[in-house]
A and B are shown apart, each in its own frame.
Chain A
Amino acid sequence: MGAQLRVYKRRIRSVSATKKITKAMEMIAASRVVKAQRKVAASTPYAQELTRAVTAVGTGSNTKHPLTTETENPTRAAVLLLTSDRGLAGAFNSNAIKAAEQLTARLEREGKQVDTYIVGRRGVAHYNFRERKIAESWSGFTDEPTYADAKKVAAPLIEAIEKDTAEGGVDELHMVFTEFVSMMTQTALDARLLPLRLEEVAEEVAPKGEILPLYDFEPSAEDVLDALLPRYVESRIYNALLQSAASKHAATRRAMKSATDNAGELINTLSRLANAARQAEITQEISEIVGGASALADATAGSDR
């Protein structure tokens, strides 16, 4: 075998090995998307009922709560950024990070100091590399988040918002995550979690101007709201974590699919080149033999005469 042909054969072998790997990753991601979507769906009833309850207390009573009232001059804000632990997901992480950076820039223009909280190793690595400050970070559960993880993430955020701003607390809480729109579309977006905009929440629950009943609160509206709001934040974070996980798997699937397609294309091109090289080799061999034979024939013909 000629040297050139051998090089082509070797490259084809290595690309096929890569193709096998990316194909397997694509299929794993595809099955995980379905699982993650199912988890999102399973968490919806709780989130819905909770939102309903929050609206009921918020609109049905005149209670003032730090988590629902806007400060006159918000000076500090917390941003929670949800990324994934692992890459190989196309632009998934960079889109989320970009959205977080835009939000941070906007908040800073408004004169607020921003504390960044990050979920996922990718986001942490991005911020560490640029030597930016991270208030707190979590990782290790982004592929399959559980409710306990959401609680863990929510705890310091709720603590920060309940503290006075002068003592290191924050006035606002924003979250950047990737919304799972469909298998093909995932968009990074930011949402303000707290203080709660009750009108917006109310719209979600009763879009047709449905009037919520006048509730009897047990033990009291303040206590119910006190207990309800942290749960509401947790459930929102849980939902965002799940959507982010589903989006990550969908993005991985897409990235791995195009990697597999590209590998297939590369194998095609390489085998064409290998064929051409083989053919060239054969042609050369034949012309060498023919040339040699005719040279021999010429020599013997000369000696005969």
Chain B
Amino acid sequence: MAAELHVELVAADRQVWSGEATLVVARTTSGDIGVMPGHQPLLGVLESGPVTIRTSDGGTVVAAVHGGFISFADNKLSLLAEIAELSDEIDVQRTERELERAKAEDDAEAQRRADVRLRAATAAR
């Protein structure tokens, strides 16, 4: 059996993605971290940013995660986020408009959110 880990990406109000993966890269407050099967149990605080999941069938799933936690134990990895979106759920044009508006209104929070979304959407392409 190829080494793989089970990933659950859950947002506060729904389960966003779940499946098997070989590598998960996420950004914690102290830097990017890559988790592969057999990693030691880990619990970390996530920064807003894209999360990359390399699935066991060779595909890549990218999601925009806005704050949350990563926890890994027994080859099960959970990514908890208040808001999480898969890259293909993100409407790039709308997000660009949001970014423009956030810049115009000087809303740092909204700007950061839009920025993370855009990065996740472009990373998937």
Question: A50 on the interface (CB 8 Å rule)?
Answer: yes
Tell me whether B12 and A147 are in contact (CB under 8 A). Answer: yes
Count of A-B residue pairs with CB < 8 Å: 89
Tell me whether A227 and B45 are in contact (CB under 8 A). Answer: yes
Question: A52 on the interface (CB 8 Å rule)?
Answer: yes
For B71, the closest partner residue in chain A by CB is A53
Contacts A147-B82, A219-B30 given; indicate if A49 touches B8 (C-beta within 8 A).
Answer: yes
Contacts A56-B43, A218-B28, A219-B45 given; indicate if A50 touches B80 (C-beta within 8 A).
Answer: yes
The majority secondary structure among interface residues of chain B is strand
For B69, the closest partner residue in chain A by CB is A53
**Could you tell me how many residues of chain A have their Cβ less than 8 Å away from some Cβ of chain B?**
31
* Binary contact readout A234-250 vs B (1 if CB under 8 angstroms, 0 otherwise): 11001000000000000
Q: How far is the CB of B19 from chain A (nearest CB, A)?
A: 14
Q: Which A residues are in CB contact (< 8 Å) with B43?
A: 53, 56-57, 215-218, 224
Interface stretch of the complex, out of A13-21, A38-46, A186-194, A251-259: A38-46
* Binary contact readout B54-81 vs A (1 if CB under 8 angstroms, 0 otherwise): 0000000000000011110110001010
The majority secondary structure among interface residues of chain A is helix
Question: A231 on the interface (CB 8 Å rule)?
Answer: yes
Contact of B10 among A45, A151, A217, A238 (CB under 8 A): A45
For B44, the closest partner residue in chain A by CB is A218
Q: How far is the CB of A183 from chain B (nearest CB, A)?
A: 22
Question: B38 on the interface (CB 8 Å rule)?
Answer: no
* Binary contact readout A139-170 vs B (1 if CB under 8 angstroms, 0 otherwise): 00000001100110000000000000000000
Contact of A238 among B12, B14, B68, B71 (CB under 8 A): B12
For B30, the closest partner residue in chain A by CB is A219
* Binary contact readout B8-40 vs A (1 if CB under 8 angstroms, 0 otherwise): 101111110000000000001110010000001
Tell me whether B13 and A231 are in contact (CB under 8 A). Answer: no
Question: A228 on the interface (CB 8 Å rule)?
Answer: yes
Interface centre among B8, B41, B80 (most CB of A within 10 A): B80
Q: How far is the CB of A134 from chain B (nearest CB, A)?
A: 27
Bound: A299/B46 CA distance, A: 109
For A61, the closest partner residue in chain B by CB is B43
Question: A213 on the interface (CB 8 Å rule)?
Answer: yes
- State which size class the interface on B falls in: 20 to 34
Bound: A57/B10 CA distance, A: 19
Question: B42 on the interface (CB 8 Å rule)?
Answer: yes
Tell me whether A49 and B71 are in contact (CB under 8 A). Answer: yes
Contact of A45 among B15, B28, B45 (CB under 8 A): B15
For A242, the closest partner residue in chain B by CB is B13
Tell me whether B44 and A219 are in contact (CB under 8 A). Answer: yes
Interface centre among A151, A213, A223 (most CB of B within 10 A): A213
Q: Which B residues are in CB contact (< 8 Å) with A52?
A: 71, 78
A-B contact pairs, 30 of them (CB 8 A): A43-B12, A45-B8, A45-B15, A46-B10, A46-B11, A49-B8, A49-B78, A49-B80, A52-B71, A52-B78, A56-B43, A213-B73, A214-B41, A215-B41, A215-B43, A216-B40, A216-B41, A217-B44, A218-B30, A218-B44, A219-B45, A224-B43, A224-B45, A227-B69, A228-B45, A231-B68, A231-B69, A231-B82, A235-B12, A238-B12
Return the 9 tightest CB-CB contacts between A and B, nearest first. Answer: A218-B44, A213-B41, A147-B12, A219-B30, A213-B73, A215-B43, A215-B41, A49-B78, A227-B45
